[in-house]
Amino acid sequence: MVTRSLRTTARRALVLAAAGAMAVTGVVALSGTANAATTLGASAAERGGRYFGAAVAANHLGEARYFQTWTTEFNGATPENEMKWQTIEPSRNQFNFAPANQIVTQARSRGMKVRGHTLVWHSQLAGWVSSLDATNLRSAMNNHINRVMGQWRGQIHSWDVVNEAFEENGSRRQSVFQQRLGNGYIEEAFRAARTADPNAKLCYNDYNTDGINAKSNAVFALVQDFRNRGVPIDCVGFQSHFNGASPVPGNYQQNLQRFANLGVDVQITELDIEGSGTAQANNYRNVVNACLAVSRCTGITVWGIPDHYSWRPNGTPLLFDSNYNKKAAYTAVLNALNTGQSDPPPNDPPPNDPPPNDPPPTTGACAATVSTNQWTGGFVGSVRVTAGSAQVNAWTVTVTLPSGATLTSGWNADRSGNTGTVQFTNVGFNGSIAPGQSVDFGYQGTGTGTGVTPTCAAS
């Protein structure tokens, strides 16, 4: 019968379409278990809608295995070099969007999230920029931001607005932007970027800021200042290029969390880890687990697909070998994305400080615990305030700092001073705590900050 055969054909088509959709998203049904994803992108998407992207080079898109691995495994892309100033505006006001556009078009047709990299950077800068005086440089920078962001307005998930503006000691890098325009150039760039594409998330991006150190502290202070003054910033990118000399730091997760506590997203933007086998796999797993443990860590991008196309191929730092075979690191990442924590997180807190997530004993109307990360000469305290069995409407936490300790900054609380006994009171948005729930605040200082016991009073 015609009707019946049409129905059968339609049903078959539906089954095939459903199977096709499963293959594209990388989700398969496992007998007796929930669906488990089989690709990096699909697995990350199942973890709170995160993305797992790769840096992509336009000149490799024509290579079948490269293209297939990218589009099968990843749900995000960053043009590795194609959006850099030297390539995209080689002469003043002459724009070359085509190479980047190849990547953006392919990525968006597959529903991927695209990271824009990067607008204001001292490196791979077109030669003509360096000879401009301050007035011309300001106008060229604003024009560059406007035109490049405008080209893909509404299509880019996040932009690295300013890249690598700090030195290792926390001072400003003496780029042409810094020298001609002064400290304010970063703020100017972010304000111009917000106007150019109000829908894109605006990130500051840097390397060697993956742990708590002088450089990441300087970035932290910048972001904190921007947040306090309402300068637009939505995210911080942690490049996360690791090797033997610069291993994954023990306080990686804690560092991500302190930035997230400022109210910005954090993203791992250029991940690659030199090495091989189990050691490399364990490092990758720790990075993925750290991101999964921070709710505002919204995505991970690896800096390339197969090892031989990495910017440092001898270090074999990627997830696929030069024949596109999946490495042990790949399996570790996929399993971590699918199952969550399988190893202790890399930043176990010091044994004498309770972890910030453990609810403290709630004997009064509120209670507070602190987890302190101490390094030579400085510390960060992450404080959790938990309500007892009744609603808390406002709270004050008192901390007596050791002699010699001086606070230099704090977040999510007002404080009464910087030394000795310091009282922290809630700010507008975190005074109200439901029974049994918690809010977090933090502080940073110089000297020694360990061994303190906070007390909490609620109203």
Annotated catalytic residues are 164, 270
The DSSP symbol for 365 reads: S
Q: Which is nearer to ligand G3I, 302 or 333 (CB)?
A: 302
184: closest CA among 235, 237, 120? 120
Shortest reach from residue 317's CB to ligand G3I, in Å: 11
Shortest reach from residue 59's CB to ligand G3I, in Å: 7
Shortest reach from residue 113's CB to ligand G3I, in Å: 18
**Chain Cα centroid distance, residue 188:** 22
Q: Is residue 81 a contact point for ligand G3I (CB under 6 A)?
A: yes
Q: Is residue 80 a contact point for ligand G3I (CB under 6 A)?
A: yes
Q: Which is nearer to ligand G3I, 191 or 312 (CB)?
A: 312
Q: Is residue 412 a contact point for ligand G3I (CB under 6 A)?
A: no
Q: Is residue 124 a contact point for ligand G3I (CB under 6 A)?
A: yes
Shortest reach from residue 81's CB to ligand G3I, in Å: 5
Q: Which is nearer to ligand G3I, 25 or 267 (CB)?
A: 267
Tell which positions 227-266 bind ligand G3I, by CB under 6 A: 239
Q: Is residue 278 a contact point for ligand G3I (CB under 6 A)?
A: no
14 close to 6: Cβ distance less than 8 angstroms? no
Give the tokens for residue 90.
């080689």
Tell which positions 339-378 bind ligand G3I, by CB under 6 A: none
Q: Is residue 274 a contact point for ligand G3I (CB under 6 A)?
A: no
Q: Which is nearer to ligand G3I, 207 or 320 (CB)?
A: 207
The three-state (H, E, C) secondary structure of 273-288, written as one string: ECCCHHHHHHHHHHHH
Shortest reach from residue 118's CB to ligand G3I, in Å: 7
Q: Is residue 175 a contact point for ligand G3I (CB under 6 A)?
A: no
The three-state (H, E, C) secondary structure of 166-223, written as one string: ECCCCCECCCHHHHHHCCCHHHHHHHHHHHHCCCCEEEEEECCCCCCCHHHHHHHHHH
- Which residue's Cβ has the minimum distance to ligand G3I? 311
The strand pairing partners of 163, in sequence order, are 205
Number of residues engaging ligand G3I in binding (CB under 6 A): 8
Q: Which is nearer to ligand G3I, 72 or 87 (CB)?
A: 87
Q: Is residue 270 a contact point for ligand G3I (CB under 6 A)?
A: yes
Q: Rounded distance, CA 142 to CA 62, Å? A: 34
Contacts of 122 (CB under 8 A, 6+ apart): 164, 173, 175, 176, 177
Tell which positions 193-222 bind ligand G3I, by CB under 6 A: 207
User: Would strands 395-400 and 455-458 be described as parallel, antiparallel, or unpaired?
Assistant: antiparallel
Q: Which is nearer to ligand G3I, 38 or 175 (CB)?
A: 175
Q: Is residue 96 a contact point for ligand G3I (CB under 6 A)?
A: no
What's the N-to-C CA distance of the chain in angstroms?
Answer: 76
53 close to 77: Cβ distance less than 8 angstroms? yes
Give the tokens for residue 124.
């791979």
Exactly one of 8, 9, 123, 437 binds ligand G3I (CB under 6 A); which one? 123
Q: How many helices and strands in the chain, by DSSP H and E?
A: 12, 19
Shortest reach from residue 124's CB to ligand G3I, in Å: 5
Shortest reach from residue 128's CB to ligand G3I, in Å: 18
Kindly provide the b/e burial profile for residues 146-178, where b requires at least 16 CB atoms within 10 angstroms of the residue's own CB: bebbebbeebbbbbbbbbbbbeeeeebeebbbb
User: Strand, helix or coil at 109?
Assistant: helix
Q: Which is nearer to ligand G3I, 123 or 135 (CB)?
A: 123
Residue type, 294: V
150 close to 88: Cβ distance less than 8 angstroms? no
The DSSP symbol for 130 reads: G
Q: Which is nearer to ligand G3I, 80 or 197 (CB)?
A: 80
387 close to 362: Cβ distance less than 8 angstroms? yes
Instruction: Tell me the angle at which helices 277-293 and 252-260 cross, rounded to the nearest 10 degrees.
Output: 20
Shortest reach from residue 353's CB to ligand G3I, in Å: 34
x/- string (CB under 6 A) for ligand G3I, residues 292-321? -------------------x----------
Report the interface residues with ligand G3I, using CB under 6 A: 80-81, 123-124, 207, 239, 270, 311
